[in-house]
Structure 1
Amino acid sequence: MLMGHGSVPVPCRLVAAAYRDEQEAADKVVKLGAGVDVCLFASPLPYDFARRSGVLSVPATYVPLGGAALHAALSRAVRDERLDLTRVSVDVIERAEVEEAYSDLGLSADGVQTRDEPGAVGTLTNFHERLFRRGATTGALTCLPAVAERLEAAGVPAVLVRPTTSSIRGALHSAALMGAHHRLEESQLTVVLVDVPTLREPVRRSAPRYWRDELRLALHRLLVQEGHRMQASVWPIDDHSYLVSATRGSVSGATDGFRVPPFAGRVREELGLTVEVGIGMGRTTHDAEAHARAALSRAQTSKQAQSFAVDREGRPLVPAPRLPPQPTGQPKPRGLEVLSRLAAKLEGGDTVVDAEAAGRMLGVTPRTARRLLRTLVDEGLAWPLPPNRTPQPGRPRQLYRLIIEKLGPARA
């Protein structure tokens, strides 16, 4: 059973997800996706299958079958003359819980065979039946109705361990608390500050007059697109930084659980820019922005690995940010060699060139250099800038910004 959106204690919505086999629980979780705040499984077995498959993205718990449920099953088993409680097999329930229940009843658990690891219906049925045929047990206590049916059909005495009403009520209450906490946590106000070092740098005389404005527009457009996917709002703060307002849940989804800085990968890929990011959370907008500025300042000033995100108490969430892994096994673009040769000839850190300057650096004609620069643009290694308007008659020069960051940190 899965618990849907709601608050504590009520109202809340329960979404039932039925399955024929406990191994299908993981598929049910995937189908419901983000439509639930917490998952409540009917027993430890489907919970364990879902946990091991790695599909759980929300808090999860299960109705316990130890404790009161196991005591109730043992009480029913006493009335079955075929069973000797000191010589039975038990599945799903942990050995420690079985020994505790037997100790409460004043019985020895030395002759009790247990298997708490998950398994398919056939596997668990074989576990019980094999022990019974060997004479090691007189019957079975199983947590799966399908296993109990198969054992009875094979002539093996079986008692089904069912959750008690009180254990179901307690599990529902725990799940409601977990879901409410998760909902509150995911809806925490989160502020992301994005700073662009390139736009902070002084304008060089050789740079075109309008290239910074064009770059800002392109960056703003990209951030708005990414913000729309995150259900976030984007505002420019000044000439080189932006503020993104969102919730913790949306930012967590876009950052792989705060392990990858947002926006950085796409900005680097499409615009060839490096951005610095700080993420902060807080009870108010002011607190969240203050924490985001603290995280951004730490990322800008510290040479050591630091977190780029802090919680509402100002504590780092994760270790240092890591950029998304670059694709491997792909052919090397032809323009990389041209870009490398141009980067080696650049002077003063200026990355803006035209066909004439590129021709001199490469030792080719301007016409050939113009064709090579277009190749760099096609391969995402250069960015065409608006023409530099001059009072002189004739066709204005076409300028290109070389994205030397594509050569790697060392060579760039």
Structure 2
Amino acid sequence: MGPHDLVERVMLMGHAAAPLPCRLVAAAYRDEQEAADKVTRLGTGVDACLFASPVPYESARRSGVLTMPATYVQLGGAALVAALARAALDERIDPRRVSIDVLNRAEIEETYSDLNLPFTDVQSRDEPGAAGTIAAYHERLVRQGSTSGALTCLPSVAERLQSAGVPAIRIRPTSAAVRTALHTAALLGAHHRLEESQLTVVLVEVPTLREPVRRTAPRYWRDELRLSLHRLLVQEANRINASVTAVDDHSYMITATRGSVATVTEGFRVLPFAARVRDELGLAVEVGVGMGRTAHDAEAHARAALARSQAGKQAQGFAVDREGRALIPAPRTPPQGAGQLKPKGIEVLARLAAKLEGGDTVVDAESAGKMLGVTPRTARRLLRTLVDEGLAWPLPPNRTPQPGRPRQLYRLIVEKLGAR
């Protein structure tokens, strides 16, 4: 990514300059400030970015568009020596009295010292800025007689100075510097590609299914809940080309890559799959994500992350990298419809929770009516309201040999009260 002449030069050097098989994508611009827009246009189509100089690199970095590794061609050292040699051949320019942009002062003084040239009258500016601002800096020094000319790393600045009649020499990268930069960029891209394809295991546990079976609950409601959850996880896994395996009655394992999991977790900032499971099934899940060099290591790290998230109520990392380190603190998953739950539903749920015995959260219209002091018909309507507000989960009807309407059971999601 750079001016047209440099991009053409790099493309002509081709793959012979890169240490690994790679595809070079040309992204030429007229002004360094276009770098951020070029990066945005490339998107995920590249694994690494190589910039012509530190200026477009810093411009793209400050814009926050760099989501992949990036580097730039070094313009100090041999490139500065070559520019000084060309300046010495220009009768208008004295290399001992010039202004230089982009390069830091220490690098300039080191090069002058190596050439045994004095640098006390050499002016330098390494602060970023627009092409017009930097061109004005060079022109002002020349007009004041402080310098005899300018050495610039920016083609747009060189064009402005030449149009204004100011002696200017462009610092061009050497072929060796370009080859070194291509080598670095290719290695960065390969490492990024390997990291994105790193094996990742996601463990999902459902506390509700982990609880012991209660006699009041129908025998098959757990099976139906497991099937619904498994189907949902398979749908989510298909979106990221992952696979789902049931580990036991209350947990599942999703095998994916780091890149695919990072996509559905916003860079490991939110729990994967938890929001949809909560919204569609009314279930809270515990999640641990682990990475590793082998499937065994990835699963071990996922279990460690899961144990960390189960350890307490403090927000803790839910993802562990292949070295066993937590990536970032896991934010608390916001409750469904936080701030939008109707007071009536919360009040009914709280009244029922206060009357529950032995931790049993499964009720029907008759038992709920007794707890609330209302008729079964009214209780049935209130329970449906809880379902609509995501505060209860309807279970399959409990069919019995007796004639009449089968009992409709509901599991109360009392966890929502704690979230409030």
TM-score (norm 1): 0.88
2:254 to 231, 244, 258: 244
Distance 1:349 1:38, change over 3 A: same
Amino acid at match of 1:321: A
1:20/1:381 CA distance change after superposition, 3 Å: farther
Give the 5 Å matches for 1:145-160: 145-160=155-170
Higher mean alpha-carbon deviation, 259-268 vs 383-392, is at 259-268
- Are the structure 2 counterparts of residues 396 and 190 from structure 1 closer, same or farther at C-alpha, using a change threshold of 3 Å? same
What residue is the counterpart of 2:46 in the other structure? 36
In the alignment, structure 1 residue 316 sits paired with structure 2 residue 325: yes
Q: Deviations over 1:304-359 (max 9, x none)?
A: 7754333334x214244223567999545343343334333333322222233333
1:227 aligns with 2:229: no
Note the 1:121-132 alignment, pairs <5 A: 121-132=131-142
Q: Quick one: which of 369, 372, 377 aligns to 1:367?
A: 377
Residue 150 (structure 1) shift: 0.9
The one-character-per-residue Cα deviations of 1:13-64 (angstroms, maximum 9, x if unpaired) are: 1111222322222222222222221111121111111111222222111111
Residue 369 to residue 95, structure 1, CA distance change in 2 (3 Å): farther
Q: Please give the alpha-carbon distance, in whole angstroms, between the structure 1 residues aligned to 2:158 and 2:288.
A: 56
Equivalent pairs counted in the alignment come to 406
Give yes or no for contact 1:39–1:175 (8 Å, CA) kept in 2.
yes
The amino acid that maps onto 2:86 is R
Aligned to 2:88: 78
Structure 1 position 281, deviation (Å): 2.7
For residues 178-327 of structure 1, the aligned pairs below 5 Å read 178-301=188-311, 307-313=317-323, 315-324=324-333
Equivalent position to 2:33, from 12, 19, 23: 23
2:59 equivalent in structure 1:
49
**Alignment identity in percent?**
73
Query: Which residue is equivalent to 1:176?
Result: 186
1:109-131 Cα deviation digits (max 9, x unpaired): 33333332322222222232333
Pair 1:333-2:342 in alignment: yes
Match of 1:69 in 2: 79
* CA deviation after TM superposition for structure 1 residue 165, in Å: 0.8
Q: Does 1:389 align with 2:371?
A: no
Cα distance in 2 between the residues matched to 1:347 and 1:118: 69
Q: 1:330 to 1:292 in 2, by over 3 A?
A: closer
Contact 2:290–2:302 (8 Å) recurs in 1:
yes
Whole-angstrom CA distance in 1 between matches of 2:269 and 2:57: 26
Instruction: Verify the 8 A CA contact 2:50 2:185 in the aligned structure 1.
Output: yes
Partners of 1:361 and 1:54 lie apart in 2 by: 56
2:6 match: none
User: Does the 8 Å contact 2:199/2:295 carry over to 1?
Assistant: yes
Secondary structure at the aligned position of 1:93 is classed as: coil
* 1:108-123 paired onto structure 2 within 5 Å: 108-123=118-133
Gaps of 5+ in 1: none
1:401 aligns with 2:418: no
Secondary structure of 2:411's aligned partner: strand
Deviations 1:94-141 (A, max 9, x none): 222222222222233333333323222222222323333344333222
| Counterpart Cα distance in 1 of 2:133 and 2:333 | 41
Contact 2:149 2:168 in 1 (8 A): yes
Greater CA drift, 43-52 or 333-342: 333-342
In the aligned structure 2, how far is the partner of 1:49 from the partner of 1:273? Answer: 45
TM value normalised by structure 2: 0.87
Could you tell me how far apart the structure 2 residues matched to 1:318 and 1:141 are? Answer: 44
The separation in 2 between residues aligned to 1:16 and 1:327, in whole angstroms, is 46
Query: Aligned AA for 1:225?
Result: Q
Is the alpha carbon distance of 1:204 and 1:151 closer, same or farther for their aligned partners in structure 2, counting shifts above 3 Å?
same
One-letter amino acid of the structure 2 residue matched with residue 40 of structure 1: L
Offset from partner CA, 1:359-380 (integer Å, 9 cap, x none): 3334444333333332332232
CA RMSD of aligned residues (A): 2.8
Query: Contact 2:316 / 2:331 at 8 angstroms: preserved in 1?
Result: no
Letter matched to residue 162 of structure 2: E
Moved more, 163-172 or 20-29: 20-29
Structure 1 residues 185 and 93: CA distance shift in structure 2, 3 A? same
Alignment partners' CA distance in 2, 1:26 and 1:38:
14
Looking at structure 2, the residues matched to 87 and 327 of structure 1 have their Cα atoms a distance apart, in angstroms, of: 68
- 1:42 and 1:325 map into 2 onto residues whose CA distance is 44
Tell me, yes or no, if the aligned pair for 1:382 and 1:403 is still in contact at 8 Å. Answer: yes
